[in-house]
Amino acid sequence: MNTRVKVLFFIGIVAGLLSCKKNNDAPDVTLTTDLNVVNASNNTINFYQNGTRLNNTGSYLPGGTLGYLTVKAGLQNYQVKIDGTSDPLFTLPLTLDSTKIYSLYISGKTAENAFYTTDVLKADTNGWAKLRFVNASPDAGPLVVAFEGTGANNVILDTVKFKDVSYKTTTDFITITAGIRYLSVYRASSPLNPRRDTITLNHGNIYTVYSYGETSSAGNQGLGTGLIVNQ
């Protein structure tokens, strides 16, 4: 074998090795995280990531949520559209960490009415229920959350659990005895006009109560409350 043939033979081996290495490269891994979208507005909406609709099992009704969605982590562009329309209400760029999970609250028609919180979900070691509150009502001002009970002579007594919670604020979790609870949510400035609901809490579970809607609206579009079972 002459020198020229040896050189060509060597080049062929190197090219083959490089080709094998390229073909054996690890595939790209798309990092994901979980995002719970809460529609705290009065519109029925759909939610998109980079132009692709994510809520494929149904639309978000006013005050509703569909549970945690799996979304791409890192910087992504999200869009909110009113159901039945093609143009976005707004686009919201978010950078989400693949090692964390989140809840996003949409309380109006602009990006300024959207906010999110990181969900650190650790069940109580003694088996109690855990509860937090999110004020997602843009015109309500500070809100108070209380549990109603009945005292002597059937006088209704309130045990305040969260006090003066401002719009876009998420409280810390507190531990709660499981069971049926009569919930009272009202504006700090109007304690005599509460929104009343009944919720059931189970031992070991983690919950979020949130307000939605606008106090300036009447009927079903007024102040409402919802309950999320986070875990």
Q: Write out pLDDT tens, residues 27-57.
A: 667 899 999 999 999 999 999 999 999 999 9
Contact assessment for residue 180 and residue 105, using Cβ atoms and an 8 Å cutoff: no
Query: How many domains does the chain contain in total?
Result: 2
- pLDDT value, residue 84: 94
199 & 111 share domain = no
- The DSSP letter of residue 61 is -
- Predicted structure pTM score: 0.83
Please give the average per-residue pLDDT across 68-91, as a whole number. 96
In which domain, by residue range, is 128 found? 122-231
- pLDDT value, residue 192: 81
* Distance (Å, whole) CA 93 – CA 106: 14
- pLDDT value, residue 43: 93
Instruction: List Cβ neighbours of 17 (8 Å cut-off, separation of 6 or more).
Output: none
Q: Scanning the structure block, which residue is given the tokens 């705290």?
A: 40
Residue 24 lies in a domain: no
Residue 6 lies in a domain: no
- pLDDT value, residue 194: 86
Please give the average per-residue pLDDT across 69-88, as a whole number. 96
Pick the closest to residue 115 from 106, 128, 123 (CA basis).
106
pLDDT at 21 over 60: no
Q: Write out pLDDT tens, residues 167-206.
A: 999 999 999 999 999 999 999 988 888 889 999 999 999 9
Please give the average per-residue pLDDT across 159-163, as a whole number. 93
Which CATH number belongs to the domain containing residue 222 in this structure?
2.60.40
Q: Which of 53-62, 63-72, 157-166 has the lowest mean pLDDT?
A: 157-166
Task: Kindly indicate the confidence band of residue 14, based on its pLDDT and cuts at 50, 70 and 90.
Answer: very low
Contact assessment for residue 203 and residue 128, using Cβ atoms and an 8 Å cutoff: yes
221 & 147 share domain = yes
